Amino acid sequence: MARVAVLLGGLSPERPVSLSTGAGCVAALKRLGHEVGEIDPQDEDWVEQLKAFKADKVINVLHGAWGEDGRVQGVLDYLRIPYSHSGVLASALAMDKNKAKAVLAGYGIPLAAGKLMDRHEAAKTHPMAPPYVVKPNAQGSSVGVFIVREGANRPPEQLLDPDWTYGEDVLVEEFIGGREYTVAVLGEEAGPRALAVTEIIPAGEWYDYNAKYAAGGSRHELPAKISSEMTGKMMRWAEIAHDALGCRGLTRSDFKWDEKTGKVCLIEVNTQPGMTPTSLAPEQAAYLGMSYDQLVTWILEDASWPR
């Protein structure tokens, strides 16, 4: 059995999701007989807490800025503590949506057309013909994302909100209609292995923050009722994306597919997918016969240094 530090909570707007994910992982680790220390980087002395705990390994379940963007990973590298999920470079790349797209485009993965803009510039006039999507360039969990619908008379005024806390750079992308899909990937020694394709059917208009994490916010169709050809394509693209960005451990790639137009694109790669009661990665693992505790064990055994 090991001494395992779980990094949870953190400083980003995704803190509640991280706390929920952390609670699940902590409970699993305790069931498995490990000694567990919960460490929240919201505390100013979290590094001292981590050193004092003398962890054999760290499971990092932080989400968003300061958790999955390479900064915490850099601290763990400096401390030479084996940790889970992706390392500094892959975490930073995947978190920066614009830079990730630049890398993935070189591998032939289909992506939505778009551009990086200062949020104030994007609010002056329509950056592209509606409908389009505006998202913070370095946030996850659909935080700060909104759709400008066809026929909208005004540019996105939300970007001028004085309480905006999602960074000055936003990614403006064409709106891809159709359905939402996701693919979890395990970074195994033999290479990345996609688990399955899930169709996500939100209760509301689209797969926003509430649809992702609120009870009843969405319904999951697993396996997705799509052709074996499209299933194979999405799984292969998810594996390529995992590898192209240099990811380690568990990732999840999200897709949109409009069957009417044939347009399909990868939306983003999540380097630290949620492990909450409504999360998609553990659901796909369970579909293949891997329980929640077994998935947590896999993540723990995969932890290493350097990443």
Class of domain 93-111+177-302: alpha beta
Residue 181 annotated to the active site: no
Start-end ranges of CATH 3.40.50.20 in the chain? 3-85
Residue 254 a catalytic site member: yes
Residue of 102, 110, 90, 93 lying closest to 267 (CA atoms): 110
What does the pLDDT read at residue 210? 53
**pLDDT value of residue 161:** 86
Q: What is the pTM of this model?
A: 0.90
At 231-270, the pLDDT tens digits run 999 999 999 999 999 999 999 999 999 988 889 999 999 9
Q: Which of 254, 279, 292, 302 is an active site residue? A: 254
CATH of 114-174, one of 3.40.50, 2.60.120, 3.30.1490, 1.25.40: 3.30.1490
Exactly one of 15, 248, 252, 307 is catalytic; name it: 252
The pLDDT assigned to 293 comes to 97
Let me know if 188 is exposed, middle or buried by CB neighbors in 10 A (0-12, 13-18, 19+).
exposed
CA distance 138 to 140: 7
pLDDT at 204: 56
Structure confidence by residue, pLDDT tens digits, 36-49: 999 999 999 999 99
**Measured between alpha carbons, how far apart are the two ends of the chain, in Å?**
22
Where are the domain boundaries for CATH 3.30.1490 in the chain? 114-174
Exactly one of 22, 67, 274, 292 is catalytic; name it.
274
Q: Of 270, 279, 283, 302, which is the active-site residue? A: 270
Q: Domain 3-85, what architecture?
A: 3-Layer(aba) Sandwich (3.40)
Q: Start-end ranges of CATH 3.30.470.20 in the chain? A: 93-111+177-302
Whether residue 14 lies in the annotated active site: yes
Active-site choice (86, 141, 142, 279): 141
Our answer to whether residue 48 is catalytic in this structure is no
Task: Give the per-residue pLDDT at 306.
Answer: 94
Q: What is the pLDDT of residue 217?
A: 64
pLDDT under 70 in the chain at which residues?
A: 140-143, 204-217
Residues in the chain, total: 307
- pLDDT score of 40: 97
Q: How much is the pLDDT for 245?
A: 98
Assess contact for 62 and 87: CB atoms under 8 A: no
Considering the candidates 268, 279, 283, 302, report the single residue annotated as catalytic: 268
Catalytic residue among 14, 68, 199, 208: 14
Catalytic residue among 180, 213, 246, 249: 213
84 is catalytic: no
